Amino acid sequence: MPFMASKSGPFVGKIIAPGDKSISHRALIFGALARGTTSISGVLEGEDVLATGEAVAAMGAEVERCGVGKYEVTGVGQFGLRNPVAPLDLGNSGTGARLLMGLVAGQGLCAAFDGDSSLRSRPMGRVLVPLENMGARVSQTGENYRLPLTLIGSNPAIPIDYPMPVASAQVKSAILLAGLGAMGTTIVRERHPTRDHTERMLAHFGADIDVSQEGDDTVIRVSGKNSLVGRDIMVPGDPSSAAFPLSAAILAPGSDLMLPGIMINPTRAGLLTTLVEMGADIAFLNERDAGGEPVADLHVKASALRGIEVPAARAPSMIDEYPILAILAAAATGTTIMRGLSELRVKESDRLEAVLSGLKANGVEARAEGDDLIVEGCGAGAAIPGGGMVATHMDHRIAMSFLVMGLVSDEPVTIDSAEMIATSYPDFIGSMRAVGACIEEGDTGS
Ligand code: S3P
């Protein structure tokens, strides 16, 4: 079903962003592997995370929903999980699929993995090759290293010393998870640091994990002699979801919006750094620690943005935020150059392509040069033309980005489907409407 967003705002008030997706997945998985009970609050109840909950339950963990966003996971301890009877269906979720592959490999389990058509098209070799080095075997009849497939872990797994060939927290996390069941110490070397929630949370669960800087590399060592113990986890607000209302408020004149409790972990804060450089008025209030992650209340006001160059080195800390940054760049004065975006091509859709065609369909000049995206801003104060229909390719972040565009464009912007928004931000449209956004079902507004 298409949805249409029309010029609205100012956006004034408060929006509670959903719980962080990365942390919600990890809390459920580590809780399932730990001995005892893990109480989690603030869980993102989106389709991706719910699929991970179902998967760990299918492997023998007890997962109980005790209230909105509240879960108790009773884990089974090291090597206590069992083979799931049916294939694990991770839907649209690369994080769920790849992290659970690490779990299955390290715990000596056998599990079939499957997902929707987007997940079936995404590369899994980046995770499966190192897991094979750790002794796991992959059995499949279809295309090489694509879902559906069956993974058979070895017990115990073989520890490896792995220099990361791609900047990917999912790959790093899968190897570390497998390392929890390995005979000895598993080492991951990162040249380009990625989100470090796995490292932080494993330490919180009592794992023997060490992170150090060796020359240009961040080196993570995890011991296989692990006994994770159930813990309490408070999931902070997801900066990747908060990015959408935050951006709408920056772009709609007169806006003044509070976003309480947003995670500001430096490995996730690239968009905030970029926006401040572009001239956005964002105040970081009440900075504090919430369960091992830094959080702040973000107070954002409408701002005139200027185009900048975003360095490739920043990409891992804002990898999911480029679609919405492209919309912000379209409204800025001057040119914005975003460097080093090759990873955008293997997300839920080819995001580089999807963003480019969405921008062009709405009268914004943009081009890709190799892995760089260049957007010519329409000029702060001069609205984006809009009026286009955007193909979302069933990608939640493309859908939300172009709805935000429609809220600040001259003509409404229509997206072909809003269905996938439920994977990461189920109440996005409701929350935006509550602060005055005009988002309607259908493509004519009539
Ligand atoms: C995630 C890592 C990133 C990100 C994804 C969540 C995670 O993927 O795009 O939404 O929770 O580890 P990559 O590791 O493929 O970069």
Per-residue model confidence (pLDDT) at position 446: 42
From 30, 95, 126, 343, mutation site for ligand 1 pocket: most ligand atoms within 8 A of C-beta: 95
343 lines ligand 1 (CB under 6 A): yes
pTM: 0.97
| Integer Cα distance of 255 and 170 in angstroms | 36
Find tokens 């005790």 and name the residue: 66
CA of 95 to the centre of ligand 1 (A): 6
Whether 232 is catalytic is no
Could you read off the pLDDT tens digit of each residue along the chain, which spans 446 residues?
A: 999 999 999 999 999 999 999 999 999 999 999 999 999 999 999 999 999 999 999 999 999 999 999 999 999 999 999 999 999 999 999 999 999 999 999 999 999 999 999 999 999 999 999 999 999 999 987 778 999 999 999 999 999 999 999 999 999 999 999 999 999 999 999 999 999 999 999 999 999 999 999 999 999 999 997 789 999 999 999 999 999 999 999 999 999 999 999 999 999 999 999 999 999 999 999 999 988 899 999 999 999 999 999 999 999 999 999 999 999 999 999 999 999 999 999 999 999 999 999 999 999 999 999 999 999 999 988 889 999 999 999 999 999 999 999 999 999 999 999 999 999 999 999 999 999 999 999 875 44
What is the token pair recorded at 252? 């709609």
| Centre of ligand 1 from the C-alpha of residue 240, in Å | 11
- Given a contact cutoff of 8 angstroms between Cβ atoms, the answer to whether 109 and 61 are in contact is no
CATH topology of domain 3-19+236-441: UDP-n-acetylglucosamine1-carboxyvinyl-transferase; Chain (3.65.10)
- Nearest protein CA to atom 15 of ligand 1, as residue: 168
Rounded alpha-carbon distances, angstroms, from residue 411 to 8, 298, 399: 11, 29, 17
Task: Of 58, 35, 68, 29, give the one whose Cα is nearest residue 201.
Answer: 29
Beta carbon of 319 within 6 Å of any ligand 1 atom:
yes
Q: How far is the CA of 239 from the centre of ligand 1 (A)?
A: 13
Quote the DSSP letter at residue 122. Answer: S
Task: State the distance from the centre of ligand 1 to the C-alpha of 193, rounded, in angstroms.
Answer: 12
Tell me where in the chain the CATH 3.65.10.10 domain(s) lie: 3-19+236-441, 21-234
Q: How far is CA 441 from the centre of its chain?
A: 26
Pick the catalytic residue from 320, 395, 416, 427: 320
Query: Of all protein residues, whose CA lies closest to atom 5 belonging to ligand 1?
Result: 95
Q: What is the pLDDT of residue 265?
A: 98
**Ligand 1 nearest atom to the CA of residue 198, by list position:** 12
Angle, vertex CA 344, rays to CA 343 and CA 349, nearest 5: 125
**SS3 category, 294:** strand
- Which CATH number, 3.65.10.10, 3.50.4.10, 3.40.190.80, 3.40.50.2300, labels domain 21-234? 3.65.10.10
How far does the chain reach from its first CA to its final CA, in angstroms? Answer: 15
* Ligand 1 lined by 409 (C-beta under 6 Å): no
Q: Which numbered atom of ligand 1 lies nearest the CA of 319?
A: 9
Res 444: pLDDT: 59
Instruction: Report CA(387)–ligand 1 centroid distance (Å).
Output: 32
Burial of 422 (0-12, 13-18, 19+ CB in 10 A): middle
The reply to whether ligand 1 has any atom less than 6 angstroms from the CB of 172 is no
Measured in Å, residue 168 CA sits from the centre of ligand 1 at 6
Q: Are 331 and 251 in contact (CB under 8 A)?
A: yes
- Establish whether residue 198 lines the binding site of ligand 1, counting it when its CB lies within 6 angstroms of any ligand atom: no
Task: Judge if the beta carbon of residue 423 lies within 6 A of ligand 1.
Answer: no
26 CA closest ligand 1 atom index: 11
Q: Is 320 close to ligand 1, i.e. is its CB under 6 Å away?
A: yes
Determine the angle formed by the axes of helices 351-361 and 322-330, rounding to 10 degrees: 20
